[in-house]
């Protein structure tokens, strides 16, 4: 008999995953509004693996509702919405898909930086509205040969730094400790980093330790000509950012993630100097196909009794 697995949501429209799973497993799908109690008891007892995504995650209640759960496979690199502690108590391994979307997220981070600094979205709206005939749009900021600060020099941060090299930018970074294998300037203090650069890109790991890391004092240190780009969920204090943008404490922002997404504050949507994305960092067809393949590979290894290709390390994932 095929092992029975549960998809925490219908991801078939977002990931080409069903064609990889259905030949090997009996696949159940948790409906959008279903909670752990909606999993029929007979089915719950047969579920041996969970497949989830970065946005959906897995909570402790669902883990507890599946008495014979053997593993959790996450189709994505973020784990902040997975109850790793609940899984750990039962010795349930969790896999993820690190490294696949690194370049894509870095690409979008740089696109947001360019868009916010050079007013590409604002300029597009300006031309479409016929306002160019009334006069020129105000000036943006140069990007090349400027100073770029990166908060979190992991996989994504390092690719952002490489992209910056093509623009002859001076790269600075912040990490809990100085790295010995990079040529960039280290700042142990986040406010010092913000004060030293023109643009600040946030690519740190999402989690309790980074929630609200970019707060009012950091934004004030970045200053009136500064642009913030955020790729890390909840790493920016959203009310502080809104206040900084409203008061001109910083020049603008490019945002791919939000505190309560998919809900975005109306005030941010109304701001001309903010470029918004719908958490699109990983959303390319190439990435999604790779996510699906790696998730299937992790499941296949588990049920074959082989070492897991992508177990979540004890020290936590690297972004």
Active site residues: 233, 261, 279
For residue 29, what is the enclosing H or E element? strand 26-29
Token couple for 45: 């007892």
Any residues with CB less than 8 A from the CB of 151 and at least 6 apart, and which? 157, 173, 174, 190, 193, 200, 201, 202, 203, 204, 213, 214, 232, 235
Specify whether the CB–CB gap between 141 and 228 falls below 8 A.
no
Q: What is the largest CA-CA distance in the chain?
A: 71
Look at residues 105, 86, 85, 88 and name the one whose alpha carbon lies nearest to residue 97.
Answer: 105
d(CA 203, CA 230): 7
For residue 94, what is the enclosing H or E element? strand 94-95
Ramachandran bin of 6, using left for φ above 0, alpha for ψ from -120 to 50, beta for the remaining angles: beta
d(CA 262, CA 276): 12
Look at residues 292, 318, 310, 305 and name the one whose alpha carbon lies nearest to residue 14.
Answer: 292
Specify whether the CB–CB gap between 169 and 148 falls below 8 A.
yes
d(CA 83, CA 140): 43
d(CA 224, CA 296): 48
Token couple for 234: 């909840």
Specify whether the CB–CB gap between 21 and 42 falls below 8 A.
no
d(CA 234, CA 260): 8
């Amino acid at each position: 008999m095929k092992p029975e697995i549960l998809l925490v949501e219908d991801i078939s429209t977002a990931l080409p995953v069903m064609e990889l799973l259905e030949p090997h497993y009996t696949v159940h799908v948790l409906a959008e509004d279903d909670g752990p109690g909606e999993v029929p008891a007979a089915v719950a007892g047969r579920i041996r693996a969970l497949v989830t995504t970065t946005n959906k995650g897995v909570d402790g209640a669902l883990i507890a509702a599946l008495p014979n759960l053997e593993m959790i496979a996450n189709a994505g690199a973020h784990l902040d919405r997975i109850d790793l502690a609940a899984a750990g108590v039962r010795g349930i391994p969790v896999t993820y898909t690190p490294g696949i979307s690194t370049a894509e997220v870095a690409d979008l981070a740089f696109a947001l930086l360019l868009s916010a600094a050079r007013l590409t979205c604002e300029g597009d709206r300006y031309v479409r509205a016929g306002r160019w005939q009334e006069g020129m749009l105000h000036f943006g900021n140069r990007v090349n040969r400027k100073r770029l600060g990166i908060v979190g020099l992991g996989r994504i941060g390092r690719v952002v730094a490489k992209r910056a090299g093509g623009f002859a930018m001076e790269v600075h970074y912040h990490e809990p400790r100085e790295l010995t294998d990079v040529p960039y300037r280290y700042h142990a203090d986040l406010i010092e980093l913000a004060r030293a650069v023109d643009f600040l890109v946030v690519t740190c790991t999402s989690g309790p330790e980074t929630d609200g890391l970019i707060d009012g004092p950091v934004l004030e240190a970045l200053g009136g000509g500064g642009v913030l780009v955020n790729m890390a969920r909840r790493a920016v204090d959203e009310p502080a950012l809104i206040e900084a943008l409203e008061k001109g404490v910083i020049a603008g922002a490019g945002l791919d993630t939000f505190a309560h997404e998919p809900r975005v504050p109306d005030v941010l949507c109304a701001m001309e100097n903010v470029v918004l994305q719908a958490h699109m960092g990983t959303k390319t067809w190439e990435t999604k196909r790779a996510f699906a393949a790696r998730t299937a590979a992790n499941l296949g290894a588990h049920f074959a009794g082989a070492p897991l290709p992508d177990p979540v390390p004890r020290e936590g994932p690297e972004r």
